[in-house]
Amino acid sequence: MTTLKKIPLSKRAIGIILLFAVATAGIAALLMNVFERKIEASFANKNRIQLTEDDTDPKKWGLGFPKQYDSYKRTAIATRTRFGGHGGSEALPEQKIERDPWLKRIFAGYAFSIDYRDRRGHAYMLSDQEDTKRQTKPQTGSCMHCHASIMPVYRELGEGDALAGMNKTHKMSYQELNKKAHDMGHAHPVSCVDCHNPNTMEIRVTRPAFIVGIQKLAESSAEVPAIPSIKRWREGSRKQPYDPNTDASTTEMRSFVCGQCHVEYYCSSDMPLTYPWGDGLKMEDLETFWDRTKLSNGSRFYDYKHKESNAELLKVQHPEFELWSQGVHARSGVACADCHMPYMRDGASKVSDHWVRSPLLNINRACQTCHRFSEKEIKTRVDKIQNTNFKLLQRGGAALMDLLDEIQAAKSRGATERELKDIQEIHRKSQWRLDYIAAENSMGFHAPQEAARILAEAIDLARQGQAKATKLRR
Ligand code: HEC
Ligand code: HEC
Ligand code: HEC
Ligand code: HEC
Ligand code: HEC
């Protein structure tokens, strides 16, 4: 039998061990510098908490990553800029409709004309949705996709397959799916697990509608200069579908995590939640996609019929990701997170600011890392862009009101539905453009020239329609 005896260490051995220890410490320090954020992440992860795909409660993640959690919680703080965010107290945000009265008229016949409010911080996304008066009309379960930490619910409904699960939810009522999320303990606003892999902390996308949409975009032949990994994928074997989580760069992922929700979509009980990217990311590409889409009853796709003109209209929803993709920042590799989640220095390490909000509240870290101008100068430049855009938007609203007035007048002169047909088509096209920029939340900043181009087309179309209506039955 052999026993392990204590073996006395020679001085040389001790020397070697010490040398190793010093070298190891040195290498560790170096790694800390190079990979400081990754190391911090895995350390907190392994040593303090065990996280899984079902951990939707951000509090638990906060035990491992207190700095990110602290800033994340601040999304409950009310903030306001001239065009962004919301100031008030706990009450619901100011009615957008009251500010731009023409909004009410262009949405006549749609749930949004009942209640259309300014957005506010991420902390409120689920409660604001539960409280909106739009819920007095039946809404579909699809609404939850972007307002709750819903992935475990999808997986359960799809027996492990989240996409299959999501594809069941448009047939469910909002109330039914919302109750399920509460019962399963996942009724949280967007949470850590929605953007981070719980094992590695790497950022990732989870939302099925985003993954399907971006795959269709990759499979199209549209140019997407802001997303170079799509070009790489197209030039490859194409054996596997484009997968953002493995094919995209970190820079791209820093925008994709937001593109999971800040996008144009269609959601009703008629079809699974759809992101309209199969023809590209430009405004016209989305329009083409909807024009090609059929409702289950076989008719051409539309969101609602306008109460006055009877035109089959499209309602636009917050196309931040799409408008950003057409701007010079996107082309230069500047991601949503660069401006909306900039790094904060924290001693030797960097922490991403998880207080997602208007960058104008944070110009120093959001802009001045790249732009060497004074804060005042940067503010003035943004102001100029937003002012120009705001004025064009108001002129667009006025032009569309004139079109509606003229349609009413033509009708009162006895113009028939058939005679009005092509004017209704012009109404559809003009309003899609106007609403594209009204519903986008940066007041033109994300791509100023593109926004101005879209508004110019909206105005031009409205005036063309008005001229045609004037001629009817004169
Ligand atoms: C170059 C910087 C920059 C980039 C990149 C950027 N944004 Fe913005 N964003 C802004 C500015 C500036 C505003 C205007 C803020 C205001 O009016 O207070 C804004 C406004 C917004 C708003 C409305 C904010 C509010 O307080 O109401 C949202 C939402 C938004 N951006 C989302 C995104 C998303 C999603 C992306 C990426 C697809 C993105 N942004 C990329 C600078 C940026
Ligand atoms: C799961 C969906 C989801 C994801 C992912 C998401 N957002 Fe949001 N975001 C929302 C919703 C919903 C609101 C509106 C909440 C409300 O009004 O109650 C919102 C609001 C905002 C606002 C307005 C904040 C304010 O104080 O007015 C900004 C800015 C914003 N998001 C930017 C981003 C950026 C940047 C990213 C990516 C880092 C991102 N969001 C990721 C759904 C999402
Ligand atoms: C594709 C993701 C997505 C889906 C699906 C979605 N939302 Fe949102 N929602 C957002 C984002 C992003 C914002 C914040 C930007 C904004 O308000 O324009 C928001 C804002 C809101 C707000 C606050 C601002 C407002 O418009 O009053 C309400 C309420 C709301 N959504 C309700 C709903 C309802 C009801 C549904 C289902 C019909 C729905 N959402 C489906 C992403 C989504
Ligand atoms: C809307 C998406 C989103 C959500 C939700 C989110 N994060 Fe992040 N997180 C990011 C992005 C983007 C980065 C920057 C990643 C990069 O550049 O590699 C990041 C970075 C991090 C990092 C790496 C270190 C750093 O600060 O850059 C940690 C740790 C982290 N997040 C923890 C959390 C925790 C904890 C939560 C929940 C309380 C959370 N995150 C919620 C998007 C998100
Ligand atoms: C990561 C770097 C980076 C950050 C952060 C950044 N920018 Fe930029 N910005 C650029 C680059 C690159 C260009 C293109 C300049 C060129 O190619 O000449 C640009 C262009 C601009 C332009 C002129 C083009 C246009 O779209 O009108 C304005 C204005 C601008 N930035 C404002 C801002 C503001 C405001 C912020 C903060 C909210 C910001 N930028 C944050 C890199 C950045």
| 238 located within any domain | yes
Q: Which of 333, 366, 399 is the last residue of a domain?
A: 366
Atom of ligand 2 nearest to the CA of 336: 35
Alpha-carbon distance of 399 to 457, in angstroms, equals 11
Is the Cβ atom of 259 under 6 angstroms away from ligand 4?
no
* Phi and psi, residue 191, nearest 5°: -125, 175
Ligand 3 centroid from CA 169, angstroms: 16
262 with 400, same domain?
no
Q: Evaluate whether 76 touches 128 at the Cβ level (below 8 Å).
A: no
Is the Cβ atom of 253 under 6 angstroms away from ligand 1?
no
Is the Cβ atom of 145 under 6 angstroms away from ligand 2?
no
User: What is the pLDDT, as a whole number, of residue 71?
Assistant: 96
* Sequence-ordered list of residues with C-beta below 8 angstroms from that of 222, at least 6 positions apart, any chain: 279, 280, 281, 282, 285
- Residue pLDDT, tens place only, 129-171: 888 756 667 789 999 999 999 999 999 999 999 999 999 999 9
β-strands 343-346, 312-313: how paired? unpaired
| 10 located within any domain | no
Is the Cβ atom of 393 under 6 angstroms away from ligand 4?
no
325 with 425, same domain?
no
* Phi and psi, residue 227, nearest 5°: -125, 80
Mutate which of 77, 442, 445 to test ligand 1's pocket (most atoms within 8 Å of Cβ)?
442
| 247 located within any domain | yes
User: What is the pLDDT, as a whole number, of residue 91?
Assistant: 41
Least distant ligand from the CA of 86: 2
Atom of ligand 4 nearest to the CA of 337: 12
361 with 390, same domain?
no
Closest by Cα among 369, 33, 49 to 196: 49
Ligand 5, CB within 6 Å, residue ranges: 327-329, 332, 334, 338-339, 359, 366-367, 369-371, 378, 381-382, 385, 448
214 with 281, same domain?
yes
Closest by Cα among 68, 70, 29 to 343: 68
The DSSP secondary structure of 92-108, one letter per residue, reads PPPBHHHHSHHHHHHTT
Ligand 1 centroid from CA 434, angstroms: 19
User: What is the pLDDT, as a whole number, of residue 273?
Assistant: 97
Domain with 146 in it: what CATH number?
1.10.1130.10
Alpha-carbon distance of 217 to 27, in angstroms, equals 44
Q: Evaluate whether 119 touches 86 at the Cβ level (below 8 Å).
A: yes
Residue nearest to atom 38 of ligand 3 (CA): 143
Q: Evaluate whether 352 touches 40 at the Cβ level (below 8 Å).
A: no
467 with 359, same domain?
no
Dihedral angle of Cα 273, 317, 408, 390, to the nearest 10 degrees: -170
- Count of the separate structural domains present in the chain: 2
Residue nearest to atom 23 of ligand 4 (CA): 37
Ligand 1 centroid from CA 340, angstroms: 7
228 with 354, same domain?
yes
Atom of ligand 1 nearest to the CA of 324: 38
Q: Which of 336, 366, 396 is the last residue of a domain?
A: 366
Q: CB burial class (10 A; 0-12, 13-18, 19+) of residue 90?
A: exposed
Residue nearest to atom 30 of ligand 4 (CA): 68
User: What is the pLDDT, as a whole number, of residue 399?
Assistant: 97
User: What is the pLDDT, as a whole number, of residue 94?
Assistant: 55
Residue-number span of the structural domain to which 208 is assigned: 68-94+117-366
Q: Which of 348, 366, 384 is the last residue of a domain?
A: 366
Least distant ligand from the CA of 366: 5
Alpha-carbon distance of 176 to 170, in angstroms, equals 11
Q: Which residues of the chain fall short of a pLDDT of 70? A: 1-48, 85-99, 111-118, 133-136
360 with 417, same domain?
no
Is the Cβ atom of 121 under 6 angstroms away from ligand 2?
yes
Is the Cβ atom of 260 under 6 angstroms away from ligand 1?
no
